[in-house]
Chain A
Amino acid sequence: KQEVTQIPAALSVPEGENLVLNCSFTDSAIYNLQWFRQDPGKGLTSLLLIQSSQREQTSGRLNASLDKSSGRSTLYIAASQPGDSATYLCAGRNTGGFKTIFGAGTRLFVKA
């Protein structure tokens, strides 16, 4: 059974810092991994999707990587800004499965 874990649960950094959010999964049968952002009381916004055949994806200041052999994905945020403050969730799908398994999220606070 696939389990997705995000550590730490919360993170506070000063503005301008580069940071890495971590996501671990237990089953290497993961077929793709998606990173989302969620603002308080709002829905999830898709940030990046990595297929299992890819190792990383980039969008602006965001870079996500996927390493199936180690069971890890990371979301790198460059030059963090207060507007980046939100909860970041990772979610994976296994080969042949329709379900997406979500991590509990990392709550990020970027101090001005």
Chain B
Amino acid sequence: DVKVTQSSRYLVKRTGEKVFLECVQDMDHENMFWYRQDPGLGLRLIYFSYDVKMKEKGDIPEGYSVSREKKERFSLILESASTNQTSMYLCASRQRDRGRTYNEQFFGPGTRLTVL
């Protein structure tokens, strides 16, 4: 079974703090994703990494950066946390597409971040 783990289930930070959210997957997947989920807005893609050191901006990258130094680990960084970044953050991974097979996405348990 694919396992995607996230470093914290709950996190409380202060405005202006630098915040690191870590995600690790154990199935050698090339693709990794960070989403945030808010009531009424659904899941929104923040960043996508298609391989080590590779990244693409998603729909809402402002205020966030990412790091992918190892294949199994994808970090989301909030350089200076703000109250509007209070949200549920979900990490996901997926094996890269091969030919005409598009693979399924697997999610971690989520990190509920509160910025005070």
A100, B110: Cβ atoms closer than 8 Å: no
- Interface flags, A16-57, vs B, CB<8A=1, else 0: 000000000000000110101000011111100101010000
Determine the distance from Cα of A103 to Cα of B37 in the docked complex, in whole angstroms: 12
Distance in angstroms from B97 CB to nearest chain A CB is 8
Interface size class of B (residues with CB under 8 A): 20 to 34
The reply to whether the CB of B106 lies closer than 8 angstroms to some CB of chain A is yes
The reply to whether the CB of A109 lies closer than 8 angstroms to some CB of chain B is no
Chain A contact residues: helix, strand, loop or mixed? strand
Determine the distance from Cα of A59 to Cα of B43 in the docked complex, in whole angstroms: 25
B50, A34: Cβ atoms closer than 8 Å: no
Distance in angstroms from A76 CB to nearest chain B CB is 19
Q: Please report A residues at the B interface, Cβ cutoff 8 Å.
A: 31-32, 34, 36, 41-46, 49, 51, 53, 89, 91, 93, 98-100, 102-105
Q: Please report B residues at the A interface, Cβ cutoff 8 Å.
A: 4, 31, 42-43, 45, 48, 50, 56, 58, 88, 90, 92, 100-110, 112
Given A31-B102, A43-B108, A45-B107, 19 other A-B residues pairs in contact with their CB atoms under 8 A:
A32-B102, A32-B104, A41-B110, A41-B112, A42-B110, A43-B4, A43-B90, A43-B107, A43-B109, A44-B90, A44-B92, A46-B104, A51-B100, A51-B101, A51-B102, A89-B43, A91-B105, A99-B58, A102-B43
